[in-house]
Chain A
Amino acid sequence: MAIVASRVGQSVERVEDNALLTGRARFLDDMPVRADTVHAAVVRSSHAHAEVLAIDVSAALAHPGVVGVLTGTDAIRWSKPFVVGVKQPMEHWCLAVDKVRYVGEPVAVVLAEDRYIAEDAAELVLVTYKPLAAVLDLCAAIAPGAPILHHKVGSNVVSERHFSYGDVESAFAIADHIVDLSVRYPRNSCTPIEAMAVVAEYQSQDGSYDVLSNFQGPFALHPVMALALQIPGGKLRMRSPAFSGGSFGVKQSVFPYVVAMALASRKVGRPVKWVEDRLEHLEAATSASGRMSKISAAVRADGVVLALDLEQHDDCGGYLRAPEPASLYRMHGNLSGAYGVKNIRVVNRVVMTNKTPSGLNRGFGGPQLYFAIERLMQKISKHLKIDHLDIIRRNLVPAGAFPYRTPSGGLLDSGDYPEAVRRAIEDGGYSGLIDRRDKARAEGRLYGIGLTAVVEPSVSNMGYITTALTAAERAKAGPKNGAHATATVALDPLGTVLVNTASVPQGQGQATVLQQVVADVFGLPTTAVVVNLEFDTQKDPWSIAAGNYSSRFAAAVAGAALEAASRLKDQLIEIAAHIFNVDKSQIVFADGIVCAANKQNTELPFSRLAALSHWSPGTLPKGVRPALRETVFWSMPQHTAPDEADRINSSGVYGFIFDYCGVEIDRTTGRLTIDKYVTMHDAGRILHPAMVDGQIQGAFANAVGATLYEEFQYAPDGGFLSGTFADYMVPTACEVPDTLILHMETPSPFTPLGSKGVGEGNCMSTPVCLANAVADALGTEDINLPLTPCRLLSLVGDDEPEPAEKQMSHKDAAMAGDLTGEGDLKVPLGRSDLWRALLDPTILATVIPGCHQLHQVGVHDYQAEVTLGVGPVRGRFNVSITLSDLKEPHTLVLTGRAEGPLGISKGRGQVFLEDLPNGTRLRYCYGVDVSGKLAAVGGRMLDGAAKILIRQFFQRLITTIGAKAEKGSVFTRVLDRLRRLG
């Protein structure tokens, strides 16, 4: 009898790929919907912070093909605010009800026969705002007098907790060195290729909602949605298709739209479909939290860290949206990283700013934490003049210490960190890298080496989020812990094995691994195992931990499938032992056959044995349950709730990563080239080597983006600037080098397969590893991401050559704004004539570019309807203009504000008139802010566009007041000046 080799551990062909490569995979937008489905377009705020005074939907409703408009009024009537993870009087509704708190916040949903009509009508919804001062920066948000986002809270700090483990004070008192560092981590996201999508249907017969979406979990958000909709959980049916175009955690943030579209369906009595577009996604879907950290270490002379003192401020955006503030707490059990440091103090503050709310994102909390710890370790090495590798080695959790309890309560399950480092140094060619650095430096090149060691937590303990509450608050709410993984294995009458899990994969290849695991259990070929990963909360077994997050598949879900298959196999063994009349220990499953090892002629095809419970349950031995279907809910005992002292084992298993790299920075362009990148992983037992390497390479690519290219950027007034992939710079295959991936396998004693998560590690390790290399190359400590060539060249710090002639500059410091400029021109007209012209509304109407009508509404106040644009890019705007600070005939200030579907622009300009021998010199300076769509997608061109419009204004001024431009002088001079401002 042939023994079938184990499939687990082999890189078997992915079962998903055939459908993906032949275009037969169905993504959410491909799913059939009811014929009467209406399509939604979302009206979003162009303001970062404003009161919503009124919403006029009449023009939109009158538009042919429009079925209805949902606003905050409906949200108040039919729903409740989402529950929040901290005890604060904050309200977050699915649509803005009183205030908007970030650019892109949903304000209304327009429902129409198709999406095109819905978009047409969305431009007709008139929202009246009262703009408020916005606060974007973390420091500004916590400063006294900052604009407050949530007034009932009274502060932008909505959660603050202090933790202390061990004896931090004594450690700092006896330390030979104290080394400290302040770092920032930017806001970015992993941007899946398929954006979010929802089809929602209100069922008026029983008041329930049926929702098909690409929500990926965690299904702890299911109660959040059901409570918001004010229905029992069972009346919110959430379904997900088998295929998804990626998520990286990001699609968790579809949940407010699930509620909004559910209400929209209720409003119009028809199913509603909404597919998020790229601009919506980048602007308003979600972001990793930004972080500002201060960290200091008490260090012994030999480089051993005795204590860490950490203060973290997390930028969670305009609303604290579940599961936030989890970004701060997911890593709480492993605050000491890969190190044996015994004493830790940490202060966590959750801060609101006028930006998109934060949420799950590959690496979740890890990149931010390790950027602080691992940059500090590099600084310790420089400060103590001890090799960085030695600093790491001297601090690692020692071999043989596992399972190792961290000071903050984490239980590191398995590993041999020093051995993994040793192998990586040897097998990765570390000494060769040192040689390359020495050689490059001898040639005057900028070359640096970075290192980092981290633990990669996976299988989150659902209870960790409650660490944000005090022990007393937790006691009141009842303990929370655990994280059930759910898997079902069934047999059909012909012997096919069916597998379902509550996992909602996002393209990883989970069906392939489930086939491997289950086929091995039954000794079957993988083709005998059919996996269906569609998910339906009304029909499939699940727990609140269901879903695709925290790298839980290999460790938890695949393990649950193994246990379900094993239970079913145990029943088959009982039946087979009865049939063959042998002891159960003798039953063997192999090659599609079941037999007794010690008895001749006992072979039975697996299909025959599997069929028995279907066809002839009466023949089963007494007390044996039919072998039809087994569902396993797997959880781990190590997942305990936070204890009295706030210790929490925040994850179930912890992998180890040790990375190092060599980078070079080009002195001419500032471009960083990754010369070599080595990444060593111990993620326990490897189930599918190619997929593990794929996860590592994928997380590395995301991390290269976070480190070198990607950041959600905002203008000072809160306008969003990264609305396309031209401005939000995700690296392409050309920008992501190959890595040398090394493995070590120390199986986890806590998981059924010995495996651990591996999907997020490089998102945590790579940014700081590359940053350490840059710090090494440039000898600088102040490293801010993303390390764009522009930023790197400024870190290189060469002085700029002086211009041969002193450049003209009379920028008026008073002109604040994103876009500032100035200019002047000679007008062959007396000063008082020019002054009168400037104050004449008829002239004003002709000089404002594209002015349709101008109404004087006050002595010096005007309102106009204006078509503004540059080249073919044009839009109609409502403009208000005020002239002020008039000092006849010397100077006046012109304040303007334009609002339209393309966005909002506010500007302020000052005009100075000076006598010249044959005319007047008109000098002006201006500052303009632009937000909304134009800023989000056209940031690269805004400065030029502002200049063009202002130039148009003054050019027309010249023509209109009848002054002939002095040939070859004024006109060209004006143009030249303006151009030079460039």
Chain B
Amino acid sequence: MKPAPFDYVSAETVDEAVAVLAAEGDEARLLAGGQSLIAMLNMRLIKPSTIIDVSRVDGLNKITSTEAGLRVGAATTQRSLLDLPQLEQYYPLLSKALPWVGHFQTRSRGTVCGSIAHADPSSELPLCLALLNGSVELRSDRGHRKLEADAFQTGMLQTACAADEMIESVTFPAADKNSGYAFHEFGYRHGDFAIVAVAAVVDKGRVRIAVGGMTDRPEVREFRRDDTDLDSSGWLDDVLNDLAWTLHGSDDQHATSRYRRDLVRGLGRQAVKEADACRV
């Protein structure tokens, strides 16, 4: 558990960080909170030539309210987002999901954008970004570009972020006043990687569900609801059962695909019902 040799660059500006990225490309990795990167480094699962530390870049830890929603800078910790005043009111999903991210100790270091960049298939924040249809702002020395969540995370630990690009910020759209939000997750222990996580947003005419832990990236599905009663002729259970079977889930040493489908049905129901109840 000792990393292979690497160069360390502590960037002072985003320009400096992307300049190093442009030079080193695929062989460089960005360090923000290090909650996944350092463990992977120590286990030599990754052997980058250069680590570019962006945690000290001035202004990169800002959270800004914009028209598109809450813009969270690349060095913002999960904890500072969770501590944002009135988060519960304007971003209820984030407020419900963030306590599930790791442990309070890791949230003090781990960054919001780091979670999005790492793209773990059972991670909470990519799931929220996908459900809310948020966006990712990428930066390189070639310029800026913006990707929607769905286009950003392409698979397990895989994103559309090019070798010379870094995430500068992510934007979570603000809550719709007429919608209700819920986040449910199941792991064996407090702070574990989710076996299955479900986020839901419900309004008068639709139910939108995002599921993590079933496939190699967050899966979002939207359903029109024709009836005010979600349980009318078993509608919700049927929707969730179809979803569970469509995503199927995989077997690993901790859980079977059958169990994962059970969780999609069970947690999905809890999440949708709660979101529906939270609706104004």
Q: How many residues of B contact A (CB 8 A)?
A: 58
Q: Is the CB of A279 within 8 A of B4?
A: no
Tell whether, in the assembled complex, residue A279 and residue B29 are in contact, meaning their CB atoms are under 8 Å apart.
no
For A551, the chain B residues whose CB sits under 8 A away are: none
Could you mark each residue 654-681 of chain A with 1 if its beta carbon is under 8 Å from any beta carbon of chain B, else 0? 0000000000000011110000000000
Whether B251 contacts A669 by the Cβ 8 Å rule is no
In the complex the two chains form, what is the Cα distance from A937 to B253 in whole Å? 12
> Are B267 and A668 touching (Cβ within 8 A)?
yes
CA gap between A657 and B215 in the complex, in Å:
47
Among A393-401, A534-542, A785-793, the one that faces the other chain is: A785-793
Given contacts A669-B263, A670-B259, A788-B254, contact A709 B214 (CB under 8 A): no
Residues on A with C-beta less than 8 A from B119 are: 871
Chain B residues at the A interface, C-beta cutoff of 8 Å:
1-5, 29, 40, 43-48, 119, 121-122, 155-159, 186, 188-193, 195, 214-216, 237-238, 241-242, 245-259, 261-263, 265-267, 270
Once bound together, how far apart are the Cα atoms of A941 and B1, in whole Å? 20
Interfacial chain B residues near A668, Cβ < 8 Å: 262, 266-267, 270
Give the distance to chain A from B47, nearest Cβ to Cβ, in Å.
Answer: 8
A731 to B190, CA, bound (A): 9
Contact of B248 among A669, A670, A981 (CB under 8 A): A981
Contact A942/B262 with A726-B193, A729-B189, A807-B245 known, Cβ cut-off 8 Å: no
Q: Contacts A807-B245, A943-B251, A947-B216 known; A937 to B190 CB distance under 8 Å?
A: no
The distance from the CB of A356 to the nearest CB of chain B, in whole angstroms, is: 16
Find chain B residues with CB under 8 A from A731 CB. 189
> How far is B235's CA from A938's CA once the two chains are assembled, in angstroms?
38
- Let me know if A278 is at the binding interface, CB within 8 A: yes
Residues of B within 8 A of A709 (CB): 188-189
Residues of B within 8 A of A833 (CB): none
| A702-733 near B? 1/0 per residue, CB < 8 Å | 00000001000100000001101011010110
Is A734 at the interface (CB under 8 A from chain B)? Answer: yes
Query: Quick one: given A669-B263, A982-B250, are A872 and B40 in contact (CB under 8 Å)?
Result: yes
Contact indicator B259/A793 (Cβ below 8 Å): yes
B159 and chain A: residue at smallest CB distance: A871
A734 to B158, CA, bound (A): 32
Could you jot down 6 A-B contacts, CB within 8 Å?
Answer: A788-B255, A790-B195, A871-B157, A940-B252, A943-B250, A944-B215
Closest residue on chain B to residue A935 by CB atoms = B253
Q: Are A948 and B216 neighbours in the complex by a CB distance under 8 Å?
A: yes
User: Considering only CB atoms, which chain B residue lies closest to A979 in the complex?
Assistant: B215
Contacts of A934 in B (CB 8 A): 45
Question: Chain B at the A interface: mostly helix, strand, loop or mixed?
Answer: loop
Query: In the complex, how many angstroms separate the beta carbon of A469 from the nearest chain B beta carbon?
Result: 39
Please tell me the number of chain A residues within 8 Å of chain B, measured between CB atoms.
Answer: 59
Cross-interface CB contact of A941 among B3, B48, B157, B251, cutoff 8 Å: B157
Do A278 and B258 touch across chains, with their CB atoms under 8 A apart?
Answer: no
Q: How far is the CB of A702 from chain B (nearest CB, A)?
A: 15
Q: A279-B1, A804-B238 are in contact. Are A794 and B189 (CB under 8 A)?
A: no
Chain A residues 712 to 766 lying within 8 A of chain B, measured CB to CB, are 713, 721-722, 724, 726-727, 729, 731-732, 734-735
Q: How far is the CB of A753 from chain B (nearest CB, A)?
A: 39
A901 at the interface (CB under 8 A from B): yes
Q: How far is the CA of A119 from the CA of B191 in the complex (A)?
A: 31
Given A804-B242, A937-B43; A735-B189 close (CB under 8 Å): yes
Known contacts A870-B156, A943-B251; 19 additional CB pairs below 8 A are A115-B2, A277-B1, A279-B1, A669-B186, A788-B188, A788-B255, A794-B256, A807-B248, A872-B40, A872-B48, A873-B40, A873-B45, A933-B43, A944-B216, A945-B156, A947-B216, A948-B156, A948-B216, A980-B248
B4 touches A669 (CB 8 A): no
B245 contact from A671, A789, A803, Cβ within 8 A: A803
B5 and A944: CB pair below 8 A? no
As a 0/1 sequence over residues 6 to 24 of chain A, the CB contacts with chain B under 8 angstroms (1 = contact) are 0000000000000000000
Chain B residues in 8 Å Cβ range of A937? 43, 45
Q: How far is the CA of A942 from the CA of B242 in the complex (A)?
A: 26
Residues on A with C-beta less than 8 A from B250 are 943-944, 982
Closest to A901 in B: B44
Q: Which A residues are CB-close (under 8 A) to B237? A: 801
* Contact indicator B189/A942 (Cβ below 8 Å): no
Min CB distance, A202 to chain B, in Å?
Answer: 25
A116 in contact with B121 (CB, 8 Å): no
In the complex, which residues of chain A have a beta carbon less than 8 angstroms from the beta carbon of B4? 119-120
Contact partner, B192, options A726, A901, A944, Cβ 8 Å: A726
Residues from chain A with Cβ under 8 Å of B40 in the complex? 872-873
Which 3 A-B residue pairs are closest in the complex by CB-CB distance?
A: A871-B157, A803-B245, A668-B266
Chain B CB within 10 A, most for which of A722, A735, A793: A793
Residues of A within 8 A of B270 (CB): 668
Whether A790 pairs with B156 at a CB distance below 8 angstroms is no
Quick check: B251 and A902 within 8 Å, CB to CB?
no
Instruction: Give the interface centre of A721, A804, A902 by most chain B CB atoms within 10 Å.
Output: A804
> A875 to B48, alpha carbons, bound, how many Å?
11
Which chain A residues lie closer than 8 Å to B158 at the CB level?
A: 870-871, 948
Cα–Cα, bound, A938→B46 (Å)? 13
Q: Which residues of B contact A119 (CB under 8 A)?
A: 2, 4, 44
Residue pair A732, B189 in contact (C-beta under 8 Å): yes
Inter-subunit contact B254/A940 (CB<8 Å): yes
Chain A nearest CB from B262 CB (Å) reads: 6
With a cutoff of 8 Å between Cβ atoms, the chain B residues found around residue A724 in the complex are 43
Cβ-defined contact, B215 with A872, below 8 A: no
CB of B267, distance to nearest CB on chain A (Å): 7
Chain A residue, CB-CB nearest to B247 = A982
Contact A944 B121 (CB under 8 A): yes
Task: Decide if A800 is an interface residue (CB 8 Å cutoff).
Answer: yes
Cα distance A729–B189 in the bound complex, in angstroms: 8
Q: Are B155 and A948 in contact (CB under 8 A)?
A: yes
Complex Cα distance A871/B237, Å? 35
Q: Which B residues are CB-close (under 8 A) to A942?
A: 252
Residues of B within 8 Å of A964, CB to CB, are: none
Known: A807-B245, A870-B158. A939 touches B252 (CB 8 A): yes
CB of A874 within 8 A of chain B? yes
Least Cβ–Cβ distance between B119 and chain A, in angstroms = 7
Verify B157–A870 contact, CB threshold 8 A.
yes
